[in-house]
């Protein structure tokens, strides 16, 4: 009975040891550290290592060859330490880049082994770059909107000053009529939607089918879409240059808006010759009197003619 119990305990112990070994092997495999895999250490220096952390995969030609082991902050950037397979050959002009791993997110480090110079074996340090993704492009667009905001506020102020000059009752009546027509059009549109609710539902169903087809297309062309996302880096750089070149144009527009605002303010406050010409009744009466006198003189000349006495000379 004791021998049977001991054998049972030995079996349980062996099974527990095997399970523990399998668990450790599974953890190491999940972390990218295969048992018996010969690896070497490489260091990559980035200006910005956004999205990179430990266990971030390292790829070469689309094949996973290692993982990031450590990310450290430098004075002007970040240092990434990675372990890659020993058979990965890197040359003097090799480099690395942070890329989008999937369309929905995730980052990876892509190695570019180079082809010039000697093969690097020890103390491998590679330059790295962070290719622009959708988030970077959105940040660039937000910066552009931020810089345009002051100009837009000045434009609104200038338009408000010009609107104060518009006191034409006919224009106001036209605006009111347009508003009434818009309300009537809205009522007609609502009635049209109620009458065509079935067709609208069919259209929405078609849109849903199109969305499903689009998702299937994205899944079947993931590699091509990755290349398109990588090329977005070039678009972001071009947009940055365009933003810098547009700064001078924005400054000129800003000065023009200020000038228009000043003119509108002078006219509204009754200053300047333009305001006097528009609102000074005495000046308008003087101009009307001068024009009436000129018309009388012209009529008198037309009726009587002009008596011209010219002496050509004396003998």
- Segment 103-139, tens digit of pLDDT: 556 789 999 999 888 888 888 899 998 875 665 566 5
What's the number of domains the chain is made of?
Answer: 3
Strand partners, 96: 111, 128
315 located within any domain? no
Angle between helix 169-195 and 197-220 (nearest 10) = 80
Share of the chain above pLDDT 90, in %: 15
Q: How far apart are CA 107 and CA 53, in angstroms?
A: 9
13 located within any domain? no
Q: How far apart are CA 63 and CA 141, in angstroms?
A: 34
pLDDT, residue 209, reads 84
Q: How far apart are CA 10 and CA 1, in angstroms?
A: 14
9 located within any domain? no
* Same domain as 86, residue 68: yes
* Same domain as 247, residue 147: yes
Q: How far apart are CA 155 and CA 144, in angstroms?
A: 17
| Of 127, 145, 176, the domain-final residue | 127
Share of the chain above pLDDT 70, in %: 69
For 283, the domain range is: 275-301
Tokens read off for 57: 């995969």
115 located within any domain? yes
Which residues have a Cβ under 8 Å from the Cβ of 76 and sit 6 or more positions away? 47
| pLDDT tens, position by position, 47-105 | 988 888 898 999 999 899 999 999 999 888 999 999 999 999 999 999 999 988 765 56
220 located within any domain? yes
pLDDT, residue 233, reads 73
pLDDT, residue 272, reads 63
> Of 39-48, 77-86, 301-310, which range is least confident?
301-310
Of the two residues 49 and 18, the one the predictor is more confident about is 49
Q: Residue 142 above 80 pLDDT?
A: no
Q: How far apart are the first and last CA of the chain?
A: 171
40, containing H or E segment: strand 39-46
* Same domain as 66, residue 41: yes
37 located within any domain? yes
> 3-class DSSP state for residue 107?
strand
Q: Compute the average pLDDT of residues 142-148.
A: 70
Cα atoms in the 13 Å half-sphere on the side-chain side of 256: 7
Tokens read off for 108: 């990876």
48 located within any domain? yes
Q: Residue 200 above 50 pLDDT?
A: yes
* Same domain as 244, residue 153: yes
Q: In the structure, what pLDDT confidence band is assigned to residue 46 with cuts at 50, 70 and 90? A: very high
306 located within any domain? no
| pLDDT tens, position by position, 234-248 | 777 777 777 777 777
* Same domain as 279, residue 262: no
Q: How far apart are CA 177 and CA 70, in angstroms?
A: 69
pLDDT, residue 43, reads 94
pLDDT, residue 162, reads 61
Q: How far apart are CA 148 and CA 253, in angstroms?
A: 10
Tokens read off for 200: 């609208």
Q: What is the CATH number of the domain that holds 102?
A: 2.40.30
| Runs of H (alpha helix) within the chain | 2-30, 134-165, 169-195, 197-220, 222-269, 272-279, 281-304
42 DSSP 8-state letter: E
Q: In the structure, what pLDDT confidence band is assigned to residue 315 with cuts at 50, 70 and 90? A: very low
């Amino acid at each position: 009975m004791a021998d049977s119990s001991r054998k049972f305990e030995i079996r349980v112990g062996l099974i527990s040891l095997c399970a523990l070994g399998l668990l450790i092997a599974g953890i190491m495999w999940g972390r990218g550290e295969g048992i018996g895999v010969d690896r070497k250490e490489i260091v990559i220096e980035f200006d910005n290592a956004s999205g990179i952390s430990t266990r971030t995969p390292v790829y070469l030609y689309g094949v996973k060859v290692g993982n990031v082991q450590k990310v450290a902050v430098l004075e002007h950037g970040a240092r990434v330490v990675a372990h890659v397979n020993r058979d990965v050959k890197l040359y003097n002009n090799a480099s690395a880049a942070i890329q989008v791993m999937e369309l929905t997110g995730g980052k990876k480090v892509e190695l570019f082994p180079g082809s010039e110079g000697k093969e690097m074996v020890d103390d491998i340090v590679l330059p790295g770059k962070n290719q622009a993704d959708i988030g970077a492009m959105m940040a660039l667009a937000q910066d552009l909107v931020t810089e345009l905001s002051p100009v837009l506020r000045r434009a609104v102020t200038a338009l408000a000053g010009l609107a104060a000059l518009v006191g034409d009752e006919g224009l106001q009546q036209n605006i009111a009529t347009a508003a009434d027509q818009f309300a009537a059009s809205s009522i007609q549109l609502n009635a049209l939607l109620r009458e065509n609710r079935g067709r609208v539902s069919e259209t929405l169903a078609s849109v849903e089918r199109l969305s499903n087809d689009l998702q299937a297309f994205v899944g079947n062309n993931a590699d091509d879409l990755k290349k398109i996302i990588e090329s977005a880096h070039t678009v972001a750089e071009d947009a940055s240059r365009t933003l810098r070149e547009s700064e001078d144009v924005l400054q000129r527009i800003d000065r023009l808006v200020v000038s228009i605002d000043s003119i509108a303010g002078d006219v509204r406050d009754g200053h300047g010759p333009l305001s006097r010409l528009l609102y000074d009744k005495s000046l308008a009466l003087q101009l009307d009197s001068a024009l009436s006198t000129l018309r009388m003189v012209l009529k008198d000349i037309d009726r009587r003619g002009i008596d011209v006495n010219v002496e050509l000379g004396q003998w």
